[in-house]
Amino acid sequence: MDNYSDDWDNEQADDEFYEHFRFTADKGQSLLRVDKFLVDRLPAGATRNRVQLAAEAGCILVNNVAVKSNYRVKPLDVVSVVMTRPRREMEIIPENIPLNIVYEDTELLVVNKPAGLVVHPGHGNYTGTLVNALAYYLKDDPSYDPSDPRLGLVHRIDKETSGLLVIAKTPETKAHLGMQFFNKTSKRAYQALVWGIIREDEGRIEGHIGRDPRDRLQMKVFPEGDQGKPAVTHYKTLERLGYVTLTECRLETGRTHQIRVHMKYVGHPLFNDERYGGNEILRGSNIAKYKQFVQNCFSVCPRQALHAKTLGFVHPATKQEMFFDAPCPPDMEQLINKWRTYSNTKES
């Protein structure tokens, strides 16, 4: 059996919302419905109803082909399943927190999260989160279950990262979207302002990401792959601005703090990323005027300069491709413009 599930803290990766299992049937396996086959092998909490929902969403594969719950497992069949994690007991308090909704229909909604808003309650943030806001906003929607602490979350972004998130209103929609994220068919691009001039126009960063054993609040790249989980980030240089670079980052995987960790790993921490050292003056001169300029930049954008700008996926019900784009928020725009002005002055 392969179990690809994880336990993380409040700022978690996309795969945190799902459990991934794979089983190979014995040579002597008698014909048996796949839902019964899985219930007999999955951990406690995997009810037949949960397994059947996964099958309806196309999340049960036998020999890499999606099957329905009445499929009969044969000897040596390879059965894999992706399911939402079981609920954890946690009271979700509905709160009237404004939401920037960029799209909504009966199946899902897409929100543009501001920096500073925690996505999910936990670890000292039990109120004032996006989930609390959703519980209030969807309190009259009969298909949305406010008793589930994970509600319709399919993925998340860090507290101080701004940008787009898709929210599912039904378990079936959540399973469909979750499978797209798991299979890496969803499309996500971030804009990040990083320290240093990136010489390459584009590149690929690969390195397993896991908890830093010296600091459990940080993630770390393990280049040999003996620890952590595989992670790949693709980047493209958009603008070189003095001592910083505006980049576009596309995720091939969704690990905790992935862009922040990978960019630090290649020597380009995100601008003003306190957790990964980007809140210090890492490039440039020691001239007092320049130091003051950078401090002013830190004040303009008092968080890591990272924004989830684009999001694309196939709608679970209509099967149409959907694509959303959220311009950088004012703090990042002002920060980028300050560096543009500085760069033009420096070069003239």
Can you give the pTM of this predicted structure?
Answer: 0.76
pLDDT, tens digit (0-9, with 9 covering 90-100), for 108-134: 999 999 999 998 876 566 789 999 999
Q: Which of 15, 77, 158, 331 is catalytic?
A: 158
Residue 15 clears pLDDT 70, i.e. is over it: no
Q: Is the dihedral of CA 117, 121, 124, 127 positive or negative?
A: positive
If you average pLDDT over every residue of the chain, what do you get?
Answer: 86
| Locus of tokens 């308090």 | 93
Give the separation between CA 177 and CA 14, rounded to whole angstroms: 11
Which of 15-29, 113-127, 147-161, 198-212 is predicted most confidently? Answer: 198-212
Q: Where residue 37 falls among pLDDT bands split at 50, 70, 90?
A: very high
Give the separation between CA 219 and CA 221, rounded to whole angstroms: 7
Domains present along the chain, CATH in parentheses: 19-83 (3.10.290.10), 101-181 (3.30.2350.10), 189-312+321-347 (3.30.2350.10)
| Residue 328 DSSP label | P
Q: Where residue 254 falls among pLDDT bands split at 50, 70, 90?
A: confident
The amino acid present at 183, given as its one-letter code, is: N
Average pLDDT score over residue span 152-156: 87
Q: Is 158 a catalytic residue?
A: yes
Give the separation between CA 194 and CA 206, rounded to whole angstroms: 18
